[in-house]
Amino acid sequence: MLSVTIIGAGNVATHLYKALNKAENVSVLQWYNRNLDAITSYQNDLVITDNLNDLKQVDVYIIAVSDDVIGALSSKLPFTEKLVVHTSGSVSLHDLDKKNIRGVLYPLQTFTKDADIDFTEVPICIEIENKAYLQTLKNLSEALGCKHYRVNSDQRAALHLAAVFVNNFTNQLYRIGHEITESKSVEFDILKPLIKETARKIETLSPYMAQTGPAKRGDKKTIKKHLRTLDKDIHKEIYELLTKSIKQTHGKKL
């Protein structure tokens, strides 16, 4: 049975707690957050604390806080030679204080407070400084039901950057689409089957092979019409930039 302490109370920390609390062969013994109000509702389920000096001895300490405080927080931990991992996609393994055994347990998924997550669909990227503890992180990933991948800090940073493109930027494109439909009093829901099919395609096709649309076809007439229709300059700039990128990828004349 792996014993775990969670440090932090944001979206990732909360989803991890809920998943680990249901997992077999894992016991979440303690939850730390500097503001107890964020975790008070869980005080009947496990020990909660806002004092780092009260942390109990466990097998794995999971730091799930904002990227910019991971290093400083790890240096304040009142113990040494314990397995301490963070959950960030962009922070190096070496940002953790070297007084402990350093590792990374990065769930590559978007986490929203009130949206349920099926962890069996979440890939976990693991990194460990001391290979003797690799199996511990594998066991923790498997307890969550996750497929795990061993990656180094550079590879994880590349995945995180790619995730910004396929998730954060894509979501902003959804928002722009929503604004466009709203401007003409058309239901955005009409686009949802297209969104789902676009995502489904890349289960079997590469993004290159799945690409369609006027930019790939070199349909200048449609492109000009779209640009005339767009009201906001920022939307025109985005449309032109993405059109240019698709044309370059597919060998169309600019």
31-83 pLDDT per residue, tens: 999 999 999 999 999 999 999 999 999 999 999 999 999 999 999 999 999 99
Range(s) of the chain covered by CATH 1.10.1040.20: 156-249
Mean pLDDT of 220-237: 95
Mean pLDDT of 209-229: 95
CATH domain 156-249 topology: N-(1-d-carboxylethyl)-l-norvaline Dehydrogenase; domain 2 (1.10.1040)
Residue 10: exposed, middle, or buried by beta-carbon count in 10 A (0-12, 13-18, 19+)?
middle
Q: How many CB atoms lie within 10 A of CB 175?
A: 11
pLDDT for res 209 = 95
* Residue 253 pLDDT class (50, 70, 90 cuts): low
Residue 126 in tokens: 């693991």
Q: How many CB atoms lie within 10 A of CB 35?
A: 9
Nearest in space to 62 (alpha carbons), one of 19, 16, 11: 16
d(CA 41, CA 103): 29
Range(s) of the chain covered by CATH 3.40.50.720: 2-151
pLDDT reading at 135 higher than 80? yes
pLDDT for res 136 = 96
Residue 96 in tokens: 């953790």
pTM of the model: 0.87
Give the 3-state secondary structure of 97-160: CCCCEEEEEEECCCCCCCCCCCHHHCCEEEEECCHHHHHHHHHHHHHCCCCEEECCHHHHHHHH
Mean pLDDT of 131-146: 95
- Across all residues in the chain, what is the average pLDDT? 94
Query: 42, 13 in Cβ contact below 8 A?
Result: no
* Residue 6 pLDDT class (50, 70, 90 cuts): very high
Nearest in space to 82 (alpha carbons), one of 55, 109, 47: 55
Three-state DSSP state, 210 = helix
pLDDT for res 114 = 77
Class for the domain spanning 2-151: alpha beta
